[in-house]
């Protein structure tokens, strides 16, 4: 049986009807039409319906007929006057439903499932407006095959290897695939919220990914040794510094204003606590291991810069300039200019781009 709403015309017992199915259009004959009894006549769960000969619009009805096991929720139901007309209607319904259901193994895209054709159409439309590709879009719970498709996409693009489910669940065998593959699953019963949750996840994950990539680079930092705060002169040197611009992290190499290498930051402490980053305006203690002797190679009050490799400068300018603060960009410019005094070809193209970026920011 299926539950349906007759919103136009009439349906009779024995009518030839056509509706959409997962394996194509279904042509079948109505065996019984069951209307819900009025509330005051409902005596037992087994006796809740009246068996009627015909139903007029508009009414909700339970239809009993053969071969309805694979009927698609939300499909139109049409009454045909003959077998010939039924075949014509079946072709129209198949075309209509086929335009809503998507199965494209050549596309790296989402797997989208909904409870009815109507909600599927709305969900797919919203995703397409946002230019989000779709690999599979269909009605019903997530199947094992669809979970595998999502896992395949996830290996190439984890942002598109995701599943969006509107008002439907996940088959047990599909759950195992999702757990083992790391495919991100989104479920909800509000279409726009479901799409927004997915977009927010993508944006947040991409932000984290950029942060991880940025952490691999030596960033621009400018510090000053605070007079009276030299705790150890060498091996390692431990000094108090103020961050004049940019950032510093443990592992960053340092250089003097003339470009001479001083060593590498081992540790940063703020008020006795070890931290992994210090930013503009902070005053912290750092330990430096390398070719440094405070009083010979550097003195109290001296300015020190992070010593950025050329390939890191190129990455910072080409890929991450929009993630850097204005003060960090200015310090990066100073560092490149120091390096170019001994190597006029140092990061030439990046230096030109950097000057343009800073110039635009100043306007």
Q: Decide if pLDDT at 215 tops 90.
A: yes
Q: What is the pLDDT of residue 52?
A: 87
**Stretch 35-47: mean pLDDT:** 60
Q: pLDDT tens-digit profile of 58-76?
A: 888 899 999 898 888 888 8
34 compared with 338, residue with greater pLDDT: 338
Q: Which two tokens stand for residue 252?
A: 């960053």
DSSP state of 291: S
Check pLDDT > 70 for residue 127: yes
CB under 8 Å to 91, separation ≥6 — which residues? 25
CA distance readout (Å), 315 to 205, 312, 345, 346: 20, 5, 17, 14
pLDDT single digits (tens) 231-242: 999 989 999 999
Residues whose CB is less than 8 angstroms from the CB of residue 152 and which lie 6 or more positions away in sequence, other chains included: 161
Pairing type for strands 162-166 and 110-114 reads parallel
Query: What is the model's pLDDT at position 99?
Result: 81
- Rounded CA separation 302/260 (Å): 13
Domains contained in the chain, CATH given: 2-98 (2.40.30.10), 101-214 (3.40.50.10050), 221-306 (2.40.30.10), 310-362 (no CATH)
Question: Where does residue 258 fall: left (phi above 0), alpha (psi -120 to 50 degrees), or beta otherwise?
Answer: alpha
DSSP string, 120-154: HHHHHHHHHHTT--EEEEEESSBPHHHHHHHHHHH
Neighbours of 328 (CB within 10 A): 22
Residue 190 preceded by cis peptide, ω within 30: no
Q: Is 84 helix (H, G, I), strand (E, B) or coil?
A: helix
- Residue 255 phi/psi, 5-degree rounding, is -145, 160
pLDDT at 40 over 50: no
State mean pLDDT over 25-54. 76
- Specify the pLDDT at position 41: 45
Cα-Cα-Cα-Cα dihedral sign, residues 146, 150, 153, 159: positive
| 106-109: long-range contacts, CB 8 A cutoff, minimum separation 24 | 107/133, 107/134, 107/135, 108/133, 108/135, 108/153, 108/156, 108/157, 108/160, 109/133, 109/134, 109/135, 109/153, 109/160
pLDDT at 223 over 70: yes
**Predicted pLDDT at 47:** 67
56 pLDDT tier (thresholds 50, 70, 90): confident
Question: Looking at residues 39-47, what average pLDDT do you find?
Answer: 52
pLDDT of residue 351: 95
pLDDT tens-digit readout, 326-353: 999 999 999 999 999 999 999 999 999 9
Q: Residue 45 — pLDDT band, cuts 50, 70, 90?
A: low
Is 60 exceeded by the pLDDT of residue 42? no
By percentage, how much of the chain surpasses pLDDT 70? 96
Q: For residue range 81-113, what is the model confidence (pLDDT) as tens digits? A: 999 999 999 999 888 888 888 888 889 999 999
**pTM of structure:** 0.74
Q: Say if CB 205 and CB 264 are below 8 A apart.
A: no
pLDDT of residue 201 exceeding 60, the answer is yes
Read off the pLDDT of residues 289-298 as tens digits, 9 standing for 90 and up: 998 999 999 9
Element (H, E) at 161: none
Residues contacting residue 217 through CB under 8 Å, at least 6 positions apart:
312, 315, 316, 320
Neighbours of 13 (CB within 10 A): 17
CB contact set of 117 (below 8 Å; sequence gap of 6+): 20, 72, 73, 74, 75, 97, 100, 139
SS3 of 62, please? strand
């Amino acid at each position: 049986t299926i539950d349906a709403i007759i919103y136009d015309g009439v349906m009779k017992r024995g009518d030839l009807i056509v509706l959409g199915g997962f394996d194509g259009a279904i042509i079948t004959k109505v065996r019984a039409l069951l209307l819900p009894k009025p509330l005051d006549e409902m005596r037992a769960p087994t006796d809740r319906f009246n068996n009627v000969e015909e139903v007029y619009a508009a009414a909700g009805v339970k239809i009993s007929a053969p071969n309805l096991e694979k009927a698609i929720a939300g499909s139109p139901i049409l009454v045909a006057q003959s077998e010939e007309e039924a075949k014509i209607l079946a072709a129209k319904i198949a075309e209509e439903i086929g335009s809503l259901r998507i199965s494209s193994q050549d596309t790296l895209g989402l797997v989208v499932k909904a409870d009815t054709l109507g909600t599927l159409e709305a969900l797919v439309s919203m995703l397409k407006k946002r230019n989000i590709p779709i690999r599979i879009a269909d009605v019903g719970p997530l199947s094992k095959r669809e979970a595998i498709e999502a896992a395949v996409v996830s290996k190439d693009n984890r942002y598109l290897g995701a599943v969006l489910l509107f008002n439907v669940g996940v088959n047990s065998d599909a759950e195992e695939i999702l757990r083992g593959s790391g495919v991100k699953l989104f479920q909800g019963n509000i279409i726009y919220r479901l799409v927004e949750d997915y977009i927010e996840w993508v944006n947040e994950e991409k932000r984290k990914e950029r942060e991880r990539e940025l952490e691999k680079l030596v960033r621009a930092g400018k510090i000053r040794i605070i007079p009276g705060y030299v705790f150890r002169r060498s091996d390692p040197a431990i000094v108090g510094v103020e961050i004049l611009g940019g950032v510093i992290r443990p592992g960053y190499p340092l250089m003097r204003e003339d470009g001479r290498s001083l060593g590498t930051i081992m540790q940063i402490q703020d008020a006795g606590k070890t931290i992994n980053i210090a930013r503009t305006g902070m005053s912290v203690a750092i330990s430096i291991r390398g070719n440094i002797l405070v009083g010979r190679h550097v003195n109290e009050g001296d300015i020190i810069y992070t010593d950025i490799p050329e390939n890191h400068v190129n990455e910072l300018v080409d890929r991450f300039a929009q993630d850097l603060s204005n003060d960090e960009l200015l310090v990066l410019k100073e560092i490149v200019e120091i390096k170019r005094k001994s190597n006029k070809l140092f990061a030439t193209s990046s230096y030109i781009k950097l000057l343009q970026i800073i110039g635009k920011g100043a306007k």
